[in-house]
A = this chain, B = another copy of it.
Amino acid sequence: MLDRPDGRVVISTDTFVVSPLEFPGGDIGALAVHGTLNDVAMMGAEPRWLCAGFVLEEGLPFVVLDRMIASMGAAARAAGVPVVAGDTKVVERGRADGIYVNTTGVGIQYDDFHPAPNRARPGDAVIVSGPIARHGMAVMAAREGLGLETTITSDTACLVPLMRRLRHQVGDDVHVLRDPTRGGVASALHEIAQTSRVGIELDARALPIPEAVNSACAMLGLDPLYVACEGVLLAFGAPDRVPEALTALRGHALAAEAVQIGVVTKDHAGLVVLRTPIGGRRIVDLLPGDQLPRIC
């Protein structure tokens, strides 16, 4: 039983089946908290409560369960959001894969901040808060034992502080917020272009892709634009507010490398177009299915 909320309620639910349960930079516990808090925050809402439902496989070592629960607790405490309800079911060996967890987050929307996927307008700047494609490649590398020279760590993190900073510094001139998880930056932008009926033009040279991620992607024939982030946000907003937006973001360690990566256009509505380093242009299409299974 919770307080009487002082605003509109926002709710988001997400089920996590990531394999392996632990990977460089994170684990299913932290991911399940961050993923849902971030979805609530991207709607311009302050997350207030979380609940969690577990499916546990018979034979799961308690020490692993304890670690995952401790990780969830730490992530929720760091965000200041209590886990107020929960449920646990146990299934027979071979009927799950260690731990699956669903989290549902409830938040209260700010009255003065209304980012939404249909509010992108021609002329808007597109900003990304940090290096992309880390989470998906960290999980893939851990699962497949790629043995890369450099360990890629997941970016899993709570984006609530970045959302608060943008609201405080830029307010409703922030038109869209989105965390590019499954399907990566490409899929998130594609959906926004479709929902807002605008075009998006990306500058390939501006995209912050870590060298190790680029190499691993090349090795596996993956395009980093489609690889999931779990601690990065995309912000669309009025072009004259870009300096304040970048200052607001860069003031937080998570977004020290925030950068503009594109603009919204009237042309080619519904499409995302990439300007390549050699001056070409290619359409960034939607992939028909999940490129990487079980990364969240």
A interface majority secondary structure: strand
CB within 8 Å for A54 and B15 given contacts A1-B43, A102-B102: yes
Decide yes or no whether A226 CB sits under 8 A from chain B: no
The interface residues of chain B lying within 8 Å CB-to-CB of A14 are 53, 87
Decide yes or no whether A55 CB sits under 8 A from chain B: yes
Most B CB atoms within 10 A — which of A17, A43, A84?
A17
CB within 8 Å for A53 and B8 given contacts A96-B95, A293-B90: no
Contact with A104, one of B43, B51, B92 (Cβ below 8 angstroms): B51
With both beta carbons as reference points, the residue of chain B lying nearest to A12 in the complex is identified as B85
The interface residues of chain B lying within 8 Å CB-to-CB of A52 are 13
With both beta carbons as reference points, the residue of chain B lying nearest to A15 in the complex is identified as B53
Chain A 83-129 residues near chain B, CB threshold 8 A? 84-92, 94-97, 100, 102, 104, 106, 109
Most B CB atoms within 10 A — which of A13, A49, A96, A296?
A13
Contact with A11, one of B49, B89, B97, B100 (Cβ below 8 angstroms): B49
Decide yes or no whether A209 CB sits under 8 A from chain B: no
Using C-beta atoms within 8 Å of the partner chain, give the interface range for chain A: 35 or more
* Contact yes or no, A10 B2, CB < 8 A: yes
With both beta carbons as reference points, the residue of chain B lying nearest to A49 in the complex is identified as B11
Decide yes or no whether A5 CB sits under 8 A from chain B: yes
A-B contact pairs, 22 of them (CB 8 A): A2-B11, A3-B9, A4-B5, A5-B5, A9-B9, A11-B85, A12-B51, A13-B51, A13-B53, A13-B86, A13-B87, A13-B102, A15-B54, A51-B104, A53-B104, A89-B100, A91-B100, A92-B293, A92-B294, A95-B96, A100-B100, A104-B104
A10 to B13, CA, bound (A): 16
Contact with A294, one of B12, B17, B91, B94 (Cβ below 8 angstroms): B91
The interface residues of chain B lying within 8 Å CB-to-CB of A106 are 9, 11, 106
Decide yes or no whether A7 CB sits under 8 A from chain B: yes
A7 to B2, CA, bound (A): 10
A85 to B105, CA, bound (A): 11
Chain A 14-40 residues near chain B, CB threshold 8 A? 14-17
With both beta carbons as reference points, the residue of chain B lying nearest to A104 in the complex is identified as B104
Contact with A9, one of B2, B12, B53, B92 (Cβ below 8 angstroms): B2
* Contact yes or no, A53 B1, CB < 8 A: no
**Nearest chain B CB to A294 CB, angstrom units:** 7
CB within 8 Å for A1 and B10 given contacts A89-B17, A100-B100, A102-B15: yes
